[in-house]
Amino acid sequence: MVVLKAVRSYAELSKVLIPLWCALLINSTPCLAQNDTEPIVLEGKCLVVCDSNPATDSKGSSSSPLGISVRAANSKVAFSAVRSTNHEPSEMSNKTRIIYFDQILVNVGNFFTLESVFVAPRKGIYSFNFHVIKVYQSQTIQVNLMLNGKPVISAFAGDKDVTREAATNGVLLYLDKEDKVYLKLEKGNLVGGWQYSTFSGFLVFPL
């Protein structure tokens, strides 16, 4: 059995770790409290240290002054956006043809930009889905979900006899930090009235 006082700072903790490790190694000598504070009895060999101000590196991982790795708490990432008005190709950049969504319903973490581009805040598995409406009795539309400028998946809608036919698709993607995901209109016209065209995504779990 090991006796360890309640500590409130790393300075206090460092004074206790060495005798604690000694007690664990020899499994017989107890570690005594440094003063008259109420001790805590530990019956196992695991010590969990919580750091209220961990240092975060560029990859989203954190570490404490004791060298203990801490998983960053920013694991809640989600967005959902809609198009509320007609969206003609002439409104887009002739180079990017990015589909622009003018109403953002959910943007947890603010990683979906005003330019309708999602920028991954950390490495992980992400889920994306889209539902894009074509103009009634217009030409076929093709929508690509793009990752860093390259198409990943596509969807088509081309039946001239169906009102509000949609190009719909979804995918799970492995993303690194700062990867960019967006929708690109390869051809056709869009109608977004009644908020029918949507684009959503969220972090499934970090890596």
Q: Which two tokens stand for residue 99?
A: 């589909």
**What DSSP designation does 114 have?**
T
Supply the pLDDT for residue 192.
Answer: 65
Taking residues 27-39, report their average pLDDT: 48
CATH 2.60.120.40 in the chain is located at 78-206
Check: CB of residue 60 under 8 Å from CB of residue 72: yes
pLDDT at 196: 82
For 109-167, what is each residue's pLDDT tens digit? 999 999 999 999 999 999 999 999 887 666 788 999 999 999 999 999 887 777 678 89
* Per-residue model confidence (pLDDT) at position 135: 74
Closest CA to 199 of 107, 81, 77: 81
Predicted local confidence at residue 155, as pLDDT: 96
What does the pLDDT read at residue 123? 98
DSSP 77-107: -EEEEEE-S-B-GGGS-TTT-BPP-SEEEEE
Dmax over Cα atoms in the chain, in whole Å?
A: 84
Specify the pLDDT at position 24.
46
pLDDT at 12: 56
CA 74/CA 100 separation, integer angstroms: 27
What is the pLDDT, as a whole number, of residue 91? Answer: 59
- 80's CB contacts (< 8 A; 6+ apart) are 104, 105, 106, 198, 199, 200, 201
Res 194: pLDDT: 64
Q: Residue 181 pLDDT > 90, yes or no?
A: yes
Highest average pLDDT, of 28-32, 54-58, 69-73, comes from 54-58
**C-alpha distances in Å from residue 59, one per residue of 25, 107, 177:** 35, 21, 7
Q: pLDDT of 60-105, one tens digit each?
A: 555 545 454 445 546 899 999 998 877 665 556 556 789 989 899 9
User: Which tens digit of pLDDT belongs to each residue from 3-19?
Assistant: 444 444 545 555 555 55
Give all strands of the β-sheet with 118-119 in edge-to-edge order. Answer: 118-119, 180-187, 141-147, 150-157
CA within 13 Å, CB half, 200:
13
Query: Position of tokens 């954190």?
Result: 62
Say which CATH architecture domain 78-206 belongs to: Sandwich (2.60)
Q: Are 137 and 175 in contact (CB under 8 A)?
A: no
